Amino acid sequence: MIAIYVDDFLLFLSNISHIRTVKENLKRHFEIKDLGEAKWILHMKIERTNIDDRMRKLTISQEQYIETILEQHGIADCKLAKTPMVANLQLPTLIEAEIDITEYQRCIGSLMYLIICTCPDIAYSVGVLSHHVACPGRTYMQAVKHVF
């Protein structure tokens, strides 16, 4: 699999000759600029590894994005957890928010972007925590930090 930037488009094809054909066809109808092999897109790092002549591996990673959001939320020094959520966590519904609602919502939004792109394993935990975005408490934020 090869990823190539062409203007605002990213082409993913398994064969370089197919990419050349697509680019030539696009050139007939549009003015395009080939920006070469893609390295980044939407906060995702793209890496291509040749395992052997027939086997290639394409991986995407959001490690840098994760480090950035940890710093933004003041938890860059957090420890690695074995699971995204503590077992049997009880999150009672609150009448009034105990913490900054906007900060909690930003954290949930950052986690949702990770779910969509590269971390579907945190979907259940974030889904549970997102039920409380209108009125979060301290326990909720501790659970969000556990997911991070």
**Do both 81 and 29 map to the same domain?**
no
Question: 137 pLDDT exceeds 70?
Answer: yes
Q: Would you say residue 101 has pLDDT above 90?
A: yes
Same domain assignment for residues 33 and 49: yes
Residues 122 and 109 in one domain: yes
* For range 99-112, the mean pLDDT: 92
Mean pLDDT of the chain: 82
Per the structure, how many domains does the chain have?
2
For the cut 60, the answer to whether the pLDDT of residue 6 exceeds it is: no
> In the structure encoding, which two tokens stand for residue 102, read together?
């906007």
Q: How far apart are CA 93 and CA 89, in angstroms?
A: 13
Whether 142 and 83 map to the same domain: the answer is yes
Query: 17 and 73: one domain?
Result: no
Looking at per-residue pLDDT, the higher value among 27 and 100 belongs to: 100
The answer on pLDDT for 37 being more than 80 is no
What is the per-residue pLDDT for 1?
46
Q: Are residues 50 and 100 in the same domain?
A: no
55 and 35 both lie in a single domain? yes
* Domain, as residue range, for 98: 63-147
Angle at 136 between CA 135 and CA 141, to 5 degrees: 170
